[in-house]
Amino acid sequence: MPDYKIAPSILSADFARLGEEVDNVLAAGADWVHFDVMDNHYVPNLTIGPMVCKALRNHGVEAPIDVHLMVDPVDDMIRMFADAGASYITFHPEASRHVDRSLQLIHSLGCKAGLVFNPASSLDAAKYVLDKLDMILLMSVNPGFGGQKFIPATLDKLKEARKLIDDSGLDIRLEIDGGVTRDNIREIAQAGADSFVAGSAIFNQDDYAEVINAMRAELAQ
């Protein structure tokens, strides 16, 4: 069985109690914290920045923080999030003029790097920088909001990305983000994903452990 990772998106957490929410979801069995950064420019929403990431580290969060940048441009935010304790930093290639350089910047700051692909975008931007990727993240909704429905065409794209990764022989995680639930996670894993972001499916329930356990049970089948 692949080394599956479940990454709750704190976009759907209660921001008034964020430290407690993150503690609770990690205690419930989450592997990573998915941290959605939106700038009301690249996407039509505004969320949280590096100070909040730093505050979670200061609060005692030790789990990997998977920072998903939905900002344009990206390089200043890469520097600030690396300084704030990010583990992974992923960005959308169209938001950087120099994708290869931004990936190198992430690595030079000691973080893992990834590219994110919107539902309608092809994977072309990944092809010539595969050796600089620790993760490919496929959006299965249009970025900007939690609680949207999974776009089924992403399943074929996952298969394409899985083939690209396997053919390369490189160690690159394949993450999926948007509309992931306990009902579709198995199909998504079968299409090739090994890392799963889930926001509303986890935080909109009272018992986080129950949902995460149900997701793991689906993945184990």
Binding residues for substrate: 9, 68, 144-147, 177-179, 199-200
Type of residue numbered 184: N
Nearer to ligand DX5, 21 or 36 (CB): 36
Site string for Zn ion, 61-100 (x = CB under 5 A): -------x--------------------------------
Is residue 8 involved in binding ligand DX5 (CB under 6 A)? no
- Are residues 110 and 148 in contact, defined by beta-carbon separation less than 8 angstroms? no
* Residue 167 C-beta: closest distance to ligand DX5, Å: 27
* Neighbour-count burial for 9-26, b at 16+ CB within 10 Å, e otherwise: bbbbbeeeebeebbebbb
Q: Indicate which of Zn ion, ligand DX5, none lies near residue 144 (CB less than 5 to 8 Å, by partner kind).
A: ligand DX5
Among 148, 168, 205, 213, binds ligand DX5 (CB under 6 A): 148
- Are residues 84 and 53 in contact, defined by beta-carbon separation less than 8 angstroms? yes
Active site annotation includes 177: yes
Strands across the sheet containing 33-38: 5-8, 195-198, 173-177, 135-139, 112-117, 88-91, 65-70, 33-38
Minimal CB distance residue for ligand DX5: 199
Site string for ligand DX5, 12-51 (x = CB under 6 A): x---------------------x-x---------------
Active site annotation includes 36: yes
User: Which residue is catalytic, options 39, 66, 134, 177?
Assistant: 177
Residue 79: which of 46, 105, 114 has the closest Cα?
105
SS3 at position 193: coil
* Residue 146 C-beta: closest distance to Zn ion, Å: 9
Judged by CB under 5 A, which stretch of 32-40, 80-88, 118-126, 180-188 contacts Zn ion?
Answer: 32-40
> What is the DSSP secondary structure assignment for residue 46, as one 8-state letter?
B
Residue 134: which of 197, 73, 87, 76 has the closest Cα?
87
- Angle, helices 75-83 vs 50-59, to 10°: value is 10
**Total count of residues recorded for the chain:** 221
Among 19, 49, 119, 147, binds ligand DX5 (CB under 6 A): 147
Nearer to ligand DX5, 104 or 119 (CB): 119
Among 39, 66, 177, 194, binds Zn ion (CB under 5 A): 177
User: What are the CA-CA distances from residue 130 to residues 100, 103, 114, 120, 124 (Å)?
Assistant: 10, 10, 10, 20, 10
Q: Residue positions in the annotated binding site for a divalent metal cation?
A: 34, 36, 68, 177
